Structures are given as C-alpha cells and as structure tokens.
Amino acid sequence: MTVSTRPEATVAGDVTVIDIALPRMRVQLLSLGAGIREVEVPDREGNLGHVHLALPTVADHADRALNPHLGTTLGRYANRIAGGRFTLDGRDYELDVNNGPNTLHGGTLGWDRLIWEVADLGESDDVVTVEFTLTSPDGDMGFPGTVHARTTYVVSPGQIVMHYAAHTDAPTVVSMANHGYWNLAGSRSIDDHELQVPAQRKLTYDEQQIPTGIMDVDGTVYDLRQTQTLRPLLNSTGGLDDCYVIDGEGLRFAAELAHPASGRRLSVHTDAPGMQVYSGNNLRAPFAVHQSMSLEAQRMPDAPNQPSLGASVLRPGEAYAATTVIHFTVA
C-alpha cells in the first residue's frame, strides 16, 4: 500500500491530490469538492482499468464549465430545490439559482466547487482514511446558518466507504451526497452495462425535474427490481434521471451496476432514503451522452418545500449523518 499527496494549482486555488494504491485497486481523491477523481479496479483477467470519469487534468476539474460535479461531495443540498427558495420556521429564504429557475446541488458555488481542508489522513493494514472538512457560512448561496461539514473516505481493497456529517448554529436544510460517474468498461457508453435498483417506488416529475409525487414502478419501464440491460432502457426512456425510494432503515442494498463483458460489478449500500439514478444524459465533450451512471444516495429532492417527501431540516444541537458504501467485485 502506498499513499501520496501533492498540491496542484487551479483557478479555484491549490487543490490537494491524494493518490492511494492498494492491492488490486487505485483511488485518487481531491480536496476540491472532497471528491473522487479516479478509481481503478480489476476485471476478471486481473487487469486494472479506470471505472470513473475524470477530466484530463486536476486543473480541468476546477473549471465549472467543464466539470459536471464529477465524483464530488454535493451540498449544502443535493439535487433540486424548486424556484430557488424555501420557507423554514416561517421565514423565506432565496437561494442562488443555477438550473433554470431552480437551485441544483447547492447553487453555482455549492460545496462541490469549493476546496475542503484535509483534516486527517491515516493508514493502517490496507485501509486508508481521509477526512475532509468545510465550514459553510451563514448566507452561503442563500442558505441559513453556519454549517460545519465533514466527508470521510475509508478506502480498502475493493471498497470505498463515505461518511457524511454536519452540524449547524441555526436551523437550515442539509443533504450531502456523492456524485460519482461510473463506467465499468472505461468506454464511451454504458449501454452494455446492467443495472438493478431494488425499489418499489420512484418520484414523478414536472418538466423542470421537480417532484410532483411518488409512483409504483410495477409494470413500467422504470422497474429495476430485476436486473435490466441498459441499452433498451436508455432507448425507451431517453435516459434516466430519477430518484428511487429506498425502503427500509439503516445501511441496506440500494443498487448494483454490472458490466458482463469485463466481469466488473459495483454495488451501493446506503442509509439514505433515496437514490438518484442518472445516466449522464447531459454529458458534454470530452465525454459522451450516456457514458456513465450516477447512483447518488441522498435525501429527497425539493423536500425543503415538500416535507411529505421526508426529512431535510437540520437544527442546532442535532447531528446530520449519512453513510454510503461502494463495493467492487468481479463476476
């Protein structure tokens, strides 16, 4: 096992690059967005290959025009908040709008666009722990309260665990998530991948991708409880950008992405209530449409405006915490 760090100058400031080499696995993390840049895992022949989209250079990742949140920690609130506003305890808050009339992933300078502090880096018995911290001031992108956030990666052979934590000095809303872009073949399309999401229900949406309700997937093209090949699914839907309701409590199975030709499999377990399944519908050069699959474990989009969708509020004295586990295997 080897772990190395180095600074890289970018337009956002100096980014700490952390390279982790484990038996049969390599991972690169960035302090920019407390994110994953590269992951290499073996195929059934034992050949390491890249399975996460990355721009050519670290500096490119700091270019907001090029980087669609690649592998980053989303916050202060992952996904969309309708109209760029919400009301909390009788007070209205106007947010930064960056997705039509809506706020997406915390606004133009959400947490994925900021440089986090590397608060801790530890190594022990083929396990590497990296802790990133960030302080988001009151009024950041319009959100109330000063929030202290932490993203901790625990990387071991074949596994990446992500722990999220936050606390606040005033009532606010928080939803943290990782926006990975996975392609288990290192190819230009995921249409030869297979996907399973063991969810009975998913959100319905309006034309701006704001939730309008919850539907049962039974008998629809969105039923992924049994493994589906992505090519016909992408052809019939035009691409997925849907939040599935992951029933149950605690850490539980939420999705599996597989590439039969290479044998690589990626499974996701999480204690989050939702899983945004996004098939890279809006990817642009140097990437291609439908080149990746994102499996974003999170609280429900627009829950600050629609409390019936689930929890979104964090108050002083409370602790926000969430965990997602990504496990790589070979069939």
207-210-211 Cα angle (round to 5): 115
Fill in the DSSP letter of residue 321.
Answer: E
Tokens of 72: 């980053």
Decide: 236 and 209 in contact? Cβ < 8 Å: no
Q: How far apart are CA 191 and CA 231, in angstroms?
A: 4
Q: How far apart are CA 302 and CA 292, in angstroms?
A: 24
265: left (phi over 0), alpha (psi -120 to 50) or beta: beta
The answer to whether the peptide bond before residue 286 is cis (omega within 30 degrees of 0) is yes
Catalytic-labelled residue, pool 38, 40, 131, 296: 296
Catalytic-labelled residue, pool 179, 193, 259, 290: 179
For this structure, is 259 an active site residue? no
For this structure, is 179 an active site residue? yes
For the chain, the straight-line distance linking the first and the last C-alpha, in angstroms and rounded, comes to 25
Question: Closest Cα to residue 149, out of 199, 76, 88?
Answer: 76
- Which residue's structure tokens are 């295997």? 329
β-bridge mates for residue 321, sequence order: 165
Instruction: State the catalytic residues.
Output: 179, 296
